[in-house]
Structure 1
């Protein structure tokens, strides 16, 4: 497993290439959630999500032969945009495999950054693997990759550098890439900090994996927080979460929707539902506040027509 030196090295390599996103406080949110909350605003990151951290770090570490073949990933949307942007920046051809039912704005974003988008029905992972092997492309897994995890660790470093008084970090969880990196950095810097992952009740493959004692699959995962509906728990991610995360909690889709609306109303931040999931855990009382709580606002690529419908 990578250590703190590797995370710091990743952060150094990303410096100047991506944004150092702000920590935002809101007295209205403190009153709403009955907690002292600070938001790590990754919705202001390049491509509108945290995903560029890990994916760009991965691309920077590819060999010349891997770069020449071109890169491919599979994604609900944000990883697709991140790979497309990072590959364009690096001068690499990129292919992304997405569900035909993915958020249209996320599909168009990947195309706008120059990626070849393959829309498929059914087994996304199977389609990704088949296209990768047939075209001899270099696979960039969106979460189950040590370089991707290490790149995401840069977010954890920034949280504790900017707010060393943070007691609890809340992180949205899909396949586990983001929380793996954040928890690694946070726990190695301050072992006593509390790291809590939050999943939708209907897309809880990581919680199921921890309960089963091994990575599980959940091909039927669905949620209004589309970015968290991962069909599998990554093998590497399972190990990091098992070793570094204090607790996993599940929240309802209805709480995610209501929290998204409340946060948008109180702060004017256009966060996507996946980014609201950690705050939904406070809203539903699934997490007991303790000291200063940092919540990772993971992205802002929301489908406005879906989340704001009456």
Structure 2
């Protein structure tokens, strides 16, 4: 796993990753951006809002962007392990099948069984464990089975791949006032923020948002 620090993230690095993502054999999609008036989003303030439709992305989420760059930077046919409750695992499994790599996804036992079945359909092993045991199982796979751990959000290659979304936003809106990014582990937020700020949009405000509630 590549160590992530502010000093290692440069615009050249992000542009290189963007090219990897754009030309990836995984078929990453430059998803459309649509004006909010084409949706049912209720707004009281007059403003120019665009929505990036990553739900139309390959494997159903933005995760394939980071995965495309991760796999491009690693030897083909490797033996990889990760931990995921679903979306990253789907992209990881999809890439593993394409590149002929062996893979294993360690999933929390609370994740829907349908996600495990889908991941397994790509030929990737799934091990379901209590959430508190996820990292212990990953470490066991690395130490005992010589697998390489691909982190689902805290990885420089992954973050650089996710930055491709920010680059695509700037192609449509070169100097946005505000960018709002969903945030779980923070990999997408880090990549998009880096892409926008390093591209010279100093005045753009960037917000990470996540759901609340139990």
TM-score where L is the length of structure 2: 0.86
Kindly tell me the number of residue pairs found equivalent between the two proteins: 200
Shift of 1:188: 1.0
Shift of 1:69: 4.1
Q: Deviations over 1:107-146 (max 9, x none)?
A: 2221122211111123222222222322110110001111
Shift of 1:90: 1.3
Judged with a 3 Å threshold, the aligned counterparts in structure 2 of structure 1 residues 164 and 121 are, in CA distance, closer, same or farther, namely: same
In the alignment, which residue of structure 2 is the partner of 1:114? Answer: 123
Moved over 3 A (4+): 28-31
Measured in 1, the distance between the counterparts of 2:57 and 2:111 equals: 21
In the alignment, which residue of structure 2 is the partner of 1:102? Answer: 111
In the alignment, which residue of structure 1 is the partner of 2:56? Answer: 44
Measured in 2, the distance between the counterparts of 1:169 and 1:14 equals: 21
In the alignment, which residue of structure 2 is the partner of 1:126? Answer: 136
Shift of 1:105: 3.1
Measured in 1, the distance between the counterparts of 2:156 and 2:144 equals: 24
Could you tell which deviates more after superposition, 4-13 or 20-29?
20-29
Judged with a 3 Å threshold, the aligned counterparts in structure 2 of structure 1 residues 163 and 125 are, in CA distance, closer, same or farther, namely: same
In the alignment, which residue of structure 2 is the partner of 1:183? Answer: 193
Is the aligned partner of 1:76 residue 2:88? no
Shift of 1:91: 1.4
Measured in 2, the distance between the counterparts of 1:27 and 1:199 equals: 23
Q: 1:6 aligns with which of 13, 16, 19?
A: 13
Shift of 1:72: 1.0
Measured in 1, the distance between the counterparts of 2:166 and 2:113 equals: 30
Measured in 1, the distance between the counterparts of 2:72 and 2:56 equals: 22
Give SS of 2:70's match: helix
Is the aligned partner of 1:140 residue 2:150? yes
- Whether contact under 8 Å (1:30, 1:36) holds in the other structure is no
Shift of 1:6: 0.9
Where do 1:133-212 residues align within 5 Å?
Answer: 133-189=143-199, 190-201=201-212
Where do 1:228-239 residues align within 5 Å?
Answer: none
Give SS of 1:187's match: helix
* RMSD of Structure 2 on Structure 1 (CA): 1.8
Judged with a 3 Å threshold, the aligned counterparts in structure 2 of structure 1 residues 194 and 76 are, in CA distance, closer, same or farther, namely: same
Could you tell which deviates more after superposition, 53-62 or 118-127?
118-127
- Whether contact under 8 Å (1:171, 1:196) holds in the other structure is yes
Could you tell which deviates more after superposition, 191-200 or 30-39?
30-39
Which blocks of at least 5 consecutive residues in structure 1 are unaligned?
Answer: 203-222, 224-310
Measured in 2, the distance between the counterparts of 1:72 and 1:105 equals: 20
TM-score where L is the length of structure 1: 0.61
